[in-house]
């Protein structure tokens, strides 16, 4: 008989970790957002059961130690128990967010869960019908970081076993966008000759290589405005001759970005009409969190500076909040705004512009960002954000000085 | 920049009007109200910056279709150019024409105007009485700011905007406030943070609770175990109390047991086994007796039969009977022999008669025919035949040889006649010899010549060598001689002499040998000899060959003749030998005939056949003799047998009288079979006896075995006899019953006590009261432990519930989400605040910088103008500071704030400020000033001063001063004045 295994590869569940960039949500929306990571986990379990997979590999960051809730642990245990009822094994390695020394809850997982306990690369053997079918390799972060290359520690075991799957929570050496943990090079992974590399840590899904597959499945639920679109896991089927991978979306709430052109709008009502129509056209199978970029002219800036736009967005959010797959504009930004160029000749405006160039360090707003209380809760502003603030301030000032 | 000329195609009331500003840089345009001053200003603005469609429509002349005009400009950088705008053409856009004939559009123009728009232009470079009117509305305390605002951008909004922003900022956030939105948000976050901490601690209890549960579970297990143990003890004690009667009974039994012998053994089922063994013995005894009786009966019977058989000699009789068959065979054989003899007699007689030789059987039997006779007879016959044949052959051969002899003799005589004579032959031989010698001589001469030639060469070489040797030795001799003289070594002379002698000797010997050789090789003179011709030689040769041939033939014939003669001799000898043989043979035949007279009448040729016949007859006669012998033997044997039979009968049955041998034999046969029957009976009896004997033995062994077992039982029971055995049995039975009672009691209590414990109790029987006390204590302890267990269980249940609640609780989870969201809200608010704050800061900083940059100079100019205008009544203007507005100082060094000044003075200050700003600004832009009756409230004197100021400014800037005041005209040189009237010709001021 042809030997075959099927499994699900997921990582970065970040159960019960709060979302970034959301405020003033409607109560039901808030509930749904709050439950979204669990809902995604539930979807994962359902998928595994429906597809009758042999096992699941979870490659680190199942939850965040920093904001770890007991609920996350309990839900996870319940999920594992449900999988146990369907004879689905789970292989878990911990990552930089759920490192073992930081786990404060003594939850006992059921016996179908196999955990890589330490930083030594070890392996489990998956046995089906008394035949060893696969070996699963991996390690867990014992502390907040693993900074050395672990790739070369992966050594293939019993060669008579048909499938070898490696779990690695880390990032490519050259990737400096994220914290570089357990850095590796794709070449090193290829050389190690495994049948599948189940990676974790990077939230954006990516197939680094085919044959063998080296895959970041991404996180299962987007949690900030940069984690847009469908999020989920990979369904993998390995035979001795073939490799099949399929992305399965699991997200309960989806981040979505869109750009709306409002250049030709003369009145705020037109803006409302266009925005509403655009939103209605969004195909939504799950609730959507929208990050809207608005392209518009001077008028738009005027509306914005007069807070009319804010009010409009609030109204629109209200109107879309009651439907099953609700929509919510959590952020909007005006792009390519044409400034009031006819005022450029103004002597004073010229001076303002020059002055603006000097406003880069954010010292003038340190009153709040360095405030003893406030700075505990406020993130440090980066250059881009400062730039945006400056631009808005400039627009506001011009508007106040000359438009009103 | 300077406006040189304006040509109006049509604008408001102005149609086809041209006005020149090029003559002076300070031009006063005078006109009464409604004379079109404002329209003209508008026109200039229209030309420079354009107008919106509505405004353009407003200025469309009522009496002309034309709308638009052209403005001629002098630019410091590119020189003269003109701007043209025509009505709605190109949406009122400008076309610019440079002196080099190029045409440019609006954006080019904008660049030339430094992107200054109409609004800015009006704010900075043009001011009118209207601006002063606006000033009236400003609150006194704000004047300073307004003035600053004007000073900065010509706008009055900076102040209000700044105020508004500050207010908004305050609404959002105050560093030490409580009510602003952000401050409130911070409080919310603070609260949430605390809540999270508490909740987290609560969840942290999870671990403790888990541990507690584990601990309590352990306690419970331990308690349950202890209770179980105690209950067990209680049970034991209760049972002990119950078992007291039995314990007493048991002890009594044990005492009785002690009285009995300790070491006691009685075989298992001993009595039964003895009885059964005895039962086994009885049948065995009777069987043995029966068998012995039977044995006696059979023995008697057998003895009787054996007695009968011993009377007869069975072996003898058996032998006779066996031989009777042989006897009968012999009788038959005797008969056959006699018949055969008769037949042979008949055959012989017939054969003899066939021969017809007159021989009788008796005669013939006397002859001996030895084995060689046949061969001899045959040999005679063949020899006679061969002798006759040879005799005939010899005769024929003799005749043939004689004929041959005659023929050879004849031939020989013929050969002899053809032979050569002896002389002739010797002559021929001489010729041939001579020829042979001459040939040999020729060859020897040739060889000699060759040798001589060779010698000549050798001789020459030898001579040379000899000469060289001689000269060499001579030289050596001379040299050594000379050397001896020079050195005085006289022995060297010897060497010299020796060498000379040796040299001379060599030479002589050499010459001698050459001469010898010459002599030897001297050519020998040849002797001449007779030559023989070729024909002669050949004929001689052939004749000699013929002679040889004839000689050979003669020899051959002589040989043949000799042979023939020899053969004839041989034949004659052979004939004699054969004749002798014949004679000898005939003699021997005759001898035979005498030996066998019947051969006389028989030809020799038939003798062998006769031999055969006679031989056959003789064999048959021999056979007859043999048969006679046989018959005799048989008869003898028969006689012996008859004798034997008769003797036997007489001996054993003397009374009997049998006539024939046959009857005798029959009787004998009967007797033998009777004997054999008896013998068989005896054998059967023997077998049965053996059986009985075996039976007796077997039973006896069985009997003995049983007896042994009985004895062994006795010994096992330690009894000497049956009586003692029964006694032992009784004792054993009593002990068994006692033990049984003990065991019964032990069994009853075995479910309560272990054997060890039981032993303990028996050895040291406890007192009843002590046991009862112990039981009471035990019951109490159990009660106490059970209470404790109940408490622990309750604790466990509580903890489990709490744990479950914790597991179910979402408050922490929810709170962190809320917290995150509130944090985001704070972030948003902070951002909004940041925008406002940035805007405000931007504004104030720009303002400050702006002021720092320009205000000093503006104030200098302002002070200068203000001083002039007030005729040095006020000497100094101070810029506003953080807490103070504009201040002015009068000639008495007294300072006033702006609001303390009279309206007129404020106006003067304002004008001074505006002028100062314009001047400072135009240092950069050089745009013409347009002033429209700004000094309407000024008196004559002040006007004059004002004009002086303007005059001085106009040195650097073009000033277009519009006025309607007559008294101003007086102050103005006529050449700088433009009058606007309703009927002004198209081109004015041609001067």
Chain B residue closest to A25 (CA)? B821
Q: Do residues B946 and B12 lie in contact, with contact meaning Cβ atoms separated by under 8 Å?
A: no
Does residue B501 form part of some domain? Answer: yes
The tens digit of pLDDT for each residue in B670-684 reads 888 888 888 888 889
CA torsion angle for A189, A195, A198, A204 (degrees, to 10)?
80
Nearest to B824 among A23, A74, A344 (CB): A23
The Cα angle at residue B699 between residues B698 and B703, in degrees rounded to 5: 120
Establish whether this prediction's ipTM goes over 0.90.
no
Could you tell me the two tokens for B955? 């040195």
Could you tell me the two tokens for A119? 């930083």
What is the number of other CB atoms lying within 10 angstroms of the CB of residue B475?
A: 13
Chain A residues touching B175 at Cβ < 8 A: 367-368, 371
CA distance A153 to chain B (A): 35
Interchain proximity B838–A71, CB inside 8 Å: no
Interchain proximity A397–B834, CB inside 8 Å: no
Interchain proximity A18–B828, CB inside 8 Å: no
Interchain proximity B836–A393, CB inside 8 Å: yes
Percent of chain B residues past pLDDT 90, beyond the cut? 3
Contacts of B106 (CB under 8 A, 6+ apart): B50, B93, B94
Distance of alpha carbon B254 from alpha carbon B248, whole angstroms: 10
Distance of alpha carbon B826 from alpha carbon B12, whole angstroms: 59
Does residue B455 form part of some domain? Answer: yes
Q: What is the mean pLDDT of chain B?
A: 81
Does position A214 have pLDDT exceeding 80, yes or no?
yes
Chain B residue closest to A387 (CA)? B835
Q: Do residues B972 and B951 lie in contact, with contact meaning Cβ atoms separated by under 8 Å?
A: no
Best CA proximity match to B860, nearest among B805, B905, B920, B819: B920
B181 touches chain A (CB under 8 A): no
CA distance B75 to chain A (A): 19
Distance of alpha carbon B979 from alpha carbon B634, whole angstroms: 221
Q: Do residues B276 and B282 lie in contact, with contact meaning Cβ atoms separated by under 8 Å?
A: no
The tens digit of pLDDT for each residue in B864-920 reads 888 888 888 888 887 766 566 678 888 888 888 777 888 778 778 877 877 777 777
Chain A residues touching B152 at Cβ < 8 A: 348
- pLDDT reported for residue B988: 39
Q: Do residues B125 and B927 lie in contact, with contact meaning Cβ atoms separated by under 8 Å?
A: yes
Interchain proximity B155–A397, CB inside 8 Å: no
The tens digit of pLDDT for each residue in B814-857 reads 888 888 888 888 888 888 888 888 888 888 888 777 767 766 77
DSSP states along B22-72 = -S-SEEEEEE-TTSSHHHHHHHHHHHHH---HHHHHHTS-SS-S--EEEEE
Distance of alpha carbon B556 from alpha carbon A90, whole angstroms: 141
What is the number of other CB atoms lying within 10 angstroms of the CB of residue B361?
A: 15
- pLDDT reported for residue B148: 56
- pLDDT reported for residue B823: 86
Does position B779 have pLDDT exceeding 50, yes or no?
yes
Most confident range, picked from A307-311, A313-317, B313-317: A313-317
Optimal mutation site among B118, B839, B845, interface A, most CBs of chain A within 10 A: B839
- pLDDT reported for residue B154: 46
Interchain proximity B153–A105, CB inside 8 Å: no
What is the number of other CB atoms lying within 10 angstroms of the CB of residue B677?
A: 11
Which residue range forms the structural domain that includes residue B504? Answer: 403-569
- pLDDT reported for residue B528: 52
Chain B residues touching A34 at Cβ < 8 A: 813-814, 817
CA torsion angle for B914, B919, B925, B927 (degrees, to 10)?
70
Interchain proximity B833–A345, CB inside 8 Å: no
Does position B525 have pLDDT exceeding 70, yes or no?
no
Chain B residues touching A389 at Cβ < 8 A: 831, 834-835, 838
Q: Do residues A82 and A43 lie in contact, with contact meaning Cβ atoms separated by under 8 Å?
A: no
Interchain proximity A34–B114, CB inside 8 Å: no
Does residue B438 form part of some domain? Answer: yes
Optimal mutation site among A108, A224, A348, interface B, most CBs of chain B within 10 A: A348
CA distance B983 to chain A (A): 39
- pLDDT reported for residue A196: 93
Interchain proximity A351–B850, CB inside 8 Å: yes
Chain B residue closest to A400 (CA)? B161
Does position A164 have pLDDT exceeding 90, yes or no?
yes
- pLDDT reported for residue A54: 93
* Burial (CB count <10 Å: 0-12, 13-18, 19+), residue B531: exposed
Distance of alpha carbon B843 from alpha carbon A396, whole angstroms: 11
Does position B331 have pLDDT exceeding 60, yes or no?
yes
Interchain proximity A355–B842, CB inside 8 Å: yes
Does residue B539 form part of some domain? Answer: yes
Chain A residues touching B920 at Cβ < 8 A: none
What is the residue extent of each domain of chain A?
4-249, 253-338, 339-404
Chain A residues touching B816 at Cβ < 8 A: 16, 18, 67, 69
Chain A residues touching B158 at Cβ < 8 A: 348, 401
Residue that is written with structure tokens 């080019």 in the block: B108
Nearest to B190 among A19, A104, A373 (CB): A373
Interchain proximity B206–A71, CB inside 8 Å: no
Does residue B451 form part of some domain? Answer: yes
Optimal mutation site among B834, B848, B849, interface A, most CBs of chain A within 10 A: B834
Does residue B488 form part of some domain? Answer: yes
Interchain proximity B820–A19, CB inside 8 Å: yes
Nearest to A18 among B113, B817, B827 (CB): B817
Chain A residues touching B174 at Cβ < 8 A: none
Best CA proximity match to B855, nearest among B135, B148, B116: B148
Distance of alpha carbon B81 from alpha carbon B102, whole angstroms: 10
Interchain proximity B816–A344, CB inside 8 Å: no
- pLDDT reported for residue B132: 65
What mean pLDDT do residues A69-94 have? 90
Query: Which of 190-219 (B) contact A at CB < 8 A?
Result: 190, 193, 203-204, 206-207, 210
Distance of alpha carbon A14 from alpha carbon A229, whole angstroms: 17
Cα-based distances in Å from B388 to B222, B394, B575, B591: 160, 11, 11, 21
pLDDT band at A124 (very low <50, low <70, confident <90, very high): very high
Tell me, rounded to whole angstroms, the distance of Cα B344 from its chain centroid. 111
- pLDDT reported for residue B532: 66
Chain B residues touching A102 at Cβ < 8 A: none
Distance of alpha carbon B131 from alpha carbon B123, whole angstroms: 10
Does residue B563 form part of some domain? Answer: yes
The tens digit of pLDDT for each residue in B621-653 reads 888 888 888 888 888 888 888 888 788 878 777
Does residue B912 form part of some domain? Answer: no
Does position A336 have pLDDT exceeding 70, yes or no?
no
CA distance B68 to chain A (A): 23
Could you tell me the two tokens for B104? 């440019």
Optimal mutation site among A23, A350, A379, interface B, most CBs of chain B within 10 A: A23
Interchain proximity B186–A397, CB inside 8 Å: no
- pLDDT reported for residue B115: 65
Q: Do residues A167 and A134 lie in contact, with contact meaning Cβ atoms separated by under 8 Å?
A: no
Beta bridge partners of A125: A135
Total domain count, chain B: 1
Interchain proximity B812–A71, CB inside 8 Å: yes
Tally the residues of chain A.
Answer: 404
The tens digit of pLDDT for each residue in B90-132 reads 777 888 888 888 888 888 887 777 767 776 677 667 777 666 6
Chain A residues touching B182 at Cβ < 8 A: 368, 374
The CATH H-level superfamily of A4-249 is Metallo-dependent phosphatases (3.60.21.10)
Does position A28 have pLDDT exceeding 70, yes or no?
yes
> Can you say whether the dihedral through the CA atoms of A179, A184, A186, A192 is positive or negative?
negative
Q: Do residues B682 and B305 lie in contact, with contact meaning Cβ atoms separated by under 8 Å?
A: yes
Optimal mutation site among A24, A345, A357, A359, interface B, most CBs of chain B within 10 A: A345
Could you tell me the two tokens for A148? 């050395």
What mean pLDDT do residues A269-283 have? 88
- pLDDT reported for residue A168: 92
Best CA proximity match to B547, nearest among B409, B432, B418, B433: B418
Which range among B68-82, B276-290, B533-547 shows the weakest confidence by mean pLDDT?
B533-547
Chain A residues touching B836 at Cβ < 8 A: 393, 396
DSSP states along B117-144 = -HHHHHHHHEEEHHHHHHHHHS-GGGHH
More confident residue, B419 or A257: A257
What mean pLDDT do residues B146-167 have? 66
Interchain proximity A359–B161, CB inside 8 Å: no
Distance of alpha carbon B111 from alpha carbon B122, whole angstroms: 18
B845 touches chain A (CB under 8 A): yes
The tens digit of pLDDT for each residue in B459-509 reads 888 888 888 888 888 888 888 888 888 877 777 788 888 888 888 888 888
The tens digit of pLDDT for each residue in B12-70 reads 888 888 888 887 888 888 887 777 888 888 888 888 888 888 888 888 888 778 888 99
Q: Give yes or no for a cis peptide into A360 (omega within 30° of 0).
A: no
Cα-based distances in Å from A10 to A84, B148, B498, B589: 17, 66, 135, 150
Nearest to A400 among B164, B821, B828 (CB): B164
Nearest to A377 among B161, B817, B826 (CB): B826
pLDDT band at B140 (very low <50, low <70, confident <90, very high): very low
- pLDDT reported for residue B905: 81
Could you tell me the two tokens for A295? 């392209």
């Amino acid at each position: 008989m042809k030997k075959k295994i099927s499994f699900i590869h997921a990582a970065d569940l970040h159960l019960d970790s709060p979302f970034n960039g959301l405020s003033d949500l409607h109560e039901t929306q808030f509930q749904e957002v709050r439950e979204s990571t669990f809902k995604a986990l539930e979807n994962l379990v359902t998928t595994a059961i429906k597809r009758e997979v042999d096992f699941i590999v979870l490659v680190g960051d199942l939850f965040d130690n920093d904001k770890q809730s007991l609920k996350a642990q309990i839900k996870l245990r319940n999920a594992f128990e449900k999988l146990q009822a369907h004879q689905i094994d789970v292989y878990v390695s911990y990552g930089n967010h759920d490192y073992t020394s930081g786990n404060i809850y003594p939850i006992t997982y059921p016996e179908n869960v196999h955990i890589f306990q330490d930083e030594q690369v070890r392996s489990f053997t998956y046995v089906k019908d008394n035949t060893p079918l696969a070996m699963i390799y991996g390690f867990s972060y014992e502390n907040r970081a693993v900074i050395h290359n672990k790739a070369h520690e992966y050594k293939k075991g019993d060669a008579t076993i048909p499938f070898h799957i490696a779990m690695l929570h880390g990032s490519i050496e050259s990737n400096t966008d994220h914290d570089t943990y357990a850095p590796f090079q794709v070449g090193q992974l290829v050389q190690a000759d495994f049948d599948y590399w189940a990676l974790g840590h990077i939230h954006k899904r990516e197939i680094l290589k085919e044959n063998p597959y080296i895959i970041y499945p991404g996180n299962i639920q987007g949690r900030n405005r940069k984690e847009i679109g469908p999020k989920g896991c990979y369904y993998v089927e390995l035979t001795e001759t073939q490799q099949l991978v399929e992305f399965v979306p699991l997200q309960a709430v989806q981040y979505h970005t869109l750009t709306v052109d409002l250049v030709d709008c003369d009145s705020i009502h037109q803006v409302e009409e266009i925005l509403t129509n655009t939103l209605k056209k969004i195909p939504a199978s799950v609730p959507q969190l929208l990050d809207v970029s608005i392209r518009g002219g001077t008028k738009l800036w005027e509306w914005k500076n007069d807070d009319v736009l804010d009010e409009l967005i609030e109204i629109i959010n209200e109107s879309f909040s009651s439907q099953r797959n609700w929509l919510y504009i959590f952020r909007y930004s005006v792009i390519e705004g044409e400034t009031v160029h006819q005022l450029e000749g103004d002597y004073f405006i010229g001076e303002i512009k020059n002055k603006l160039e000097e406003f880069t360090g954010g010292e003038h707003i340190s009153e709040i960002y360095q405030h003893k209380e406030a700075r505990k809760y406020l993130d440090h502003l980066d250059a881009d954000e400062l730039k945006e603030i400056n631009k808005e301030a400039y627009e506001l000032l011009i508007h106040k000085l000359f438009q009103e | 920049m300077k406006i040189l000329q304006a040509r109006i195609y049509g604008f408001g009331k102005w149609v086809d009007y041209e006005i020149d500003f090029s003559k002076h840089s300070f031009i006063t345009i005078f006109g009464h109200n409604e004379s079109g001053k404002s329209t003209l200003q508008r026109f200039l603005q229209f030309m420079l910056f354009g107008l919106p469609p509505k405004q353009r429509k407003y200025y469309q002349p009522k009496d002309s279709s034309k709308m638009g005009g052209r403005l001629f400009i002098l630019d410091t950088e590119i020189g003269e150019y003109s701007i043209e705008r025509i009505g709605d053409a190109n949406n009122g856009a400008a076309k610019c024409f440079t002196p080099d004939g190029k045409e440019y559009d609006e954006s080019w123009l904008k660049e030339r105007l430094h992107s200054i728009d109409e609004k800015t232009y009006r704010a900075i470079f043009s001011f009118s009485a209207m601006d002063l009117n606006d000033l009236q509305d400003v609150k006194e305390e704000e004047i300073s700011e307004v003035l600053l605002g004007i000073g900065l951008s010509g706008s009055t909004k900076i102040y209000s905007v700044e105020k508004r922003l500050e207010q908004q900022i305050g609404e959002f956030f105050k560093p030490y406030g409580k009510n602003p939105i952000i401050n409130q948000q911070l409080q919310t976050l603070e609260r949430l943070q605390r809540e999270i901490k508490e909740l987290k601690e609560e969840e942290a209890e999870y671990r403790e609770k888990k541990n507690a549960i584990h601990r309590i579970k352990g306690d419970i297990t331990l308690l349950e175990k202890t209770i179980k143990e105690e209950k067990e003890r209680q049970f034991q004690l209760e049972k002990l109390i119950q078992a007291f009667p039995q314990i007493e009974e048991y002890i009594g039994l044990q005492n009785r047991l002690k009285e009995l012998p300790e070491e006691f053994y009685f075989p298992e089922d001993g009595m039964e086994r003895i009885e059964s063994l005895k039962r086994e013995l009885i049948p065995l005894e009777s069987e043995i007796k029966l068998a012995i009786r039977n044995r006696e009966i059979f023995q008697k019977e057998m003895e009787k039969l054996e007695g009968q058989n011993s009377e007869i000699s069975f072996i003898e009789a058996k032998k006779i009977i066996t031989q009777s068959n042989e006897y009968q065979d012999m009788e038959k054989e005797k008969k056959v022999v006699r018949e055969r003899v008769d037949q042979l007699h008949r055959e012989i007689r017939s054969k003899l008669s066939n021969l017809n030789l007159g021989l009788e059987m008796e005669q013939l039997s006397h002859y001996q025919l030895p084995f060689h006779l046949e061969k001899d007879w045959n040999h005679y016959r063949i020899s006679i035949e061969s002798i006759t044949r040879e005799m005939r052959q010899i005769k024929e051969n003799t005749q043939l040889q004689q004929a041959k002899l005659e023929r050879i003799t004849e031939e020989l005589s013929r050969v002899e006649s053809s032979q050569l004579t002896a002389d002739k032959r010797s002559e021929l031989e001489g010729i041939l010899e001579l020829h042979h010698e001459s040939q040999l001589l020729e060859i020897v001469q040739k060889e000699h010549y060759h040798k001589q030639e060779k010698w000549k060469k050798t001789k020459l070489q030898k001579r040379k060598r000899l000469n060289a040797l001689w000269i060499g030795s001579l030289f050596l001799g001379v040299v050594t001689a000379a050397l001896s003289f020079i050195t005085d070594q006289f022995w060297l002379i010897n060497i010299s002499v020796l060498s000379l002698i040796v040299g001379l000797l060599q030479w002589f010997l050499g010459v001698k040998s050459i001469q010898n050789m010459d002599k030897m090789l001297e050519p020998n003179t040849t002797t001449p000899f007779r030559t023989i011709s070729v024909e002669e030689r050949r004929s001689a040769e052939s004749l000699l060959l013929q002679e040889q041939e004839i000689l050979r033939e003669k020899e051959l014939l002589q040989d043949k003749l000799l042979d023939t003669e020899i053969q004839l001799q041989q034949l004659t000898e052979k004939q004699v030998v054969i004749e002798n043989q014949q004679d000898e043979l005939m003699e021997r035949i005759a001898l035979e005939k005498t030996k066998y007279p019947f051969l006389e009448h028989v030809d020799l040729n038939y003798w062998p056949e006769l031999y055969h016949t006679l031989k056959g007859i003789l064999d048959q006669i021999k056979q007859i003799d043999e048969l006679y012998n046989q018959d005799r033997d048989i008869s003898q044997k028969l006689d012996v047998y008859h004798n034997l039979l008769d003797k036997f009968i007489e001996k054993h049955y003397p009374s009997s009288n049998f006539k024939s041998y046959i009857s005798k034999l029959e009787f004998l046969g009967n007797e033998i079979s009777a004997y054999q029957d008896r013998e068989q009976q005896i054998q059967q009896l023997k077998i049965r006896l053996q059986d009985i004997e075996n039976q007796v033995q077997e039973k006896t062994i069985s009997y003995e075995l049983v007896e042994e077992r009985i004895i062994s039982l006795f010994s096992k029971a330690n009894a000497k006899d049956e009586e003692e055995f029964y006694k032992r049995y009784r004792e054993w039975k009593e002990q068994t019953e006692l033990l049984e009672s003990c065991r019964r009691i032990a069994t009853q209590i075995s479910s309560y006590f272990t054997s060890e414990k039981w032993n303990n109790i028996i050895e040291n029987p406890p007192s009843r009261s002590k046991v009862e006390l112990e039981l009471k204590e035990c019951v109490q302890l159990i009660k106490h432990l059970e209470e404790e267990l109940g408490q622990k269980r309750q604790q466990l249940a509580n903890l489990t519930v709490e744990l479950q609640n914790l597991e179910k609780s979402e408050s922490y989870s929810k709170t962190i989400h809320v917290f995150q969201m509130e944090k985001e809200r704070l972030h948003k608010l902070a951002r909004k605040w940041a925008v406002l704050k940035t805007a405000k800061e931007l504004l104030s900083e720009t303002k400050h910088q702006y002021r720092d940059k320009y205000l000093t100079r503006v104030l200098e100019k302002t002070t200068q103008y203000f001083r002039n205008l007030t005729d040095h009544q006020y000497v100094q203007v101070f810029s506003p500071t953080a807490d103070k507005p504009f201040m002015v100082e009068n000639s008495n060094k007294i300072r006033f704030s702006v609001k303390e000044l009279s309206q007129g003075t404020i106006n003067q200050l304002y004008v001074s400020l505006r002028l100062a700003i314009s001047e400072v600004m135009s240092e950069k832009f050089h745009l013409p000033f347009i002033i429209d009756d700004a000094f309407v409230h000024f008196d004559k004197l002040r006007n004059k001063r004002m004009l002086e100021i303007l005059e001085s400014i106009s040195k650097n800037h073009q000033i277009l001063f519009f006025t309607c005041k007559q008294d101003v005209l007086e102050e103005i040189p006529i050449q700088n004045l433009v009058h606007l009237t309703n009927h002004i010709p198209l081109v004015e001021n041609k001067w």
